[in-house]
Amino acid sequence: MNVKIEYPAEFLAAAYWEDSVMMNSYVVRCEMMTNTRDGREQNIALERLKYILFMQMQNSVFVDQREKAAIKRLQAAGLRTVILPEQPVDQIIGMMLYSKLDSVMEGRLAMTQLRLSSELGENITYFQSDNETIGPFAQKGWWNSTDPTVSDSKDGGKIVSIRGTTTWQLLGLDWDDKEDNNKGNTVVAFRKDDNE
């Protein structure tokens, strides 16, 4: 039997807008439907959702991918940047969260609706449901990947980390039925310096 559930959450993050970093308080309500009878898998799916919200989105800076200079400055300052295909307004952030959260739960819990509001957005609530388009998030990107990554961008330094260095397995949030053939392997890639 499928069961409808809702998870409410609040988190703090910033939005880069018109050469300013503005702190914002977000309220999100995730409505989901269980798609498995396995309680353990339902719990893992919910923990993955929480990880994305509280370990990846919270205390990050949302920034438009076209703001390349700002992205470099934010990353050089050690700030976690969540790079979006459009300006970081509430509607876009809601679409991104809907896509990413639904992807990481891998069908164990299915997102049916997400509601998002924020202080800077004057607490207007934006709805995203399973029968609506996800706009720019229909294109391939980190937002529809099942891994815990929240950015396609590299840090701009000489050492480039490979996407996926943090895995659900390392976080203890993998499914029993999946085998990781790369256990114990570490890959580091180096980017050639343009001045060499």
Output the six-digit token pair for 14. Answer: 């910033």
Which stretch of 47-56, 83-92, 161-170, 184-193 has the lowest confidence by average pLDDT?
184-193
Per-residue pLDDT band at 94 (split at 50, 70, 90):
very high
* Chain segment 38-85, per-residue pLDDT in tens: 999 999 999 999 999 999 999 999 999 999 999 999 999 999 999 999
Domain ranges of the chain: 4-190
159: pLDDT strictly greater than 50: no
Q: Which CATH superfamily is domain 4-190 in?
A: 6-pyruvoyl tetrahydropterin synthase/QueD (3.30.479.10)
